[in-house]
Amino acid sequence: MGRSLKYEIPGVDRRCDSLELAERGFDGLFAADMENASRRVLEIGFGRGEFLLELAAKQPETAFLGVEISFKRVLKMARKVGRAELRNVRLMEAKGEVVLRDLLQTGLLDEIWVNFSDPWPKDRHAQRRVIQSAFVRDAARCLALGGTLHVATDDVPYADQIDEVMEGEVLFENAFAPERWLGNVPGRIQTGYEIEWRAAGRPLHFFAGCRVAAKPEGD
């Protein structure tokens, strides 16, 4: 029999919902804990949350919104954030693409992280992959000039799709050019899946798109 979920949150419950974000705005979510965040970061699909926990602990002046589609993962992460007393983190159960498309202000974010989103390897499921042209355009809208969209995958066909849509977006310049992606980014905090897949010898692909007013012609 599976282990039952623990619903009580040790410490403060830092979950929020879409309505709250729409009504209060990103900064409003953090009003009780932070006066003026120096930076604003979104992570989509935080999974078990290792990456977000470590990044948020290292950058207490940065406000982090973690968005996850799985209720169970949000609940478990809320317990970890409560235990760690991370005042600069908010968690939301939602689809990342909907949050970007409908709920965030233009030019708000400094970074967006999408680490190892589900690859949906069957051709007929490719439309379910998070990284599509519309997503990348919405991400560009939400980022401030100079902000970065970070994307990682271990899946080769998905890496080709990510490369194509990021290259096709005039509001992003490849921060790793002339490489299309890197297989290793020095100093990067590793996610839970990343550690497992690195150990299994899977090929990793890291992309970084820097938000620009418009890519120079011919790029």
Question: What residue ranges bind ligand SAM (CB under 6 A)?
Answer: 44-47, 67-70, 73, 95-97, 115-118, 130, 191-194
The dihedral through the CA atoms of 175, 99, 155, 127 has a sign that is negative
3-state helix, strand, coil in the chain (%, to 5): 35, 20, 40
CA proximity to 14, closest of 69, 58, 68, 78: 78
Is 33 marked active-site?
A: no
From 13, 27, 33, 118, the catalytic residue: 118
Q: Which is nearer to ligand SAM, 34 or 157 (CB)?
A: 157
Which DSSP letter does residue 73 get? Answer: H
Render 109-154 in DSSP notation, one character per residue.
EEEEEEES-----SGGGGGGSS--HHHHHHHHHHEEEEEEEEEEES
Q: How far is the CB of 74 from ligand SAM (least distance, A)?
A: 9
Residue 35 C-beta: closest distance to ligand SAM, Å: 29
Q: Indicate the helix (H) or strand (E) that contains 211.
A: strand 205-211
Q: How far is the CB of 176 from ligand SAM (least distance, A)?
A: 19
Q: Which is nearer to ligand SAM, 118 or 173 (CB)?
A: 118
Catalytic positions: 118
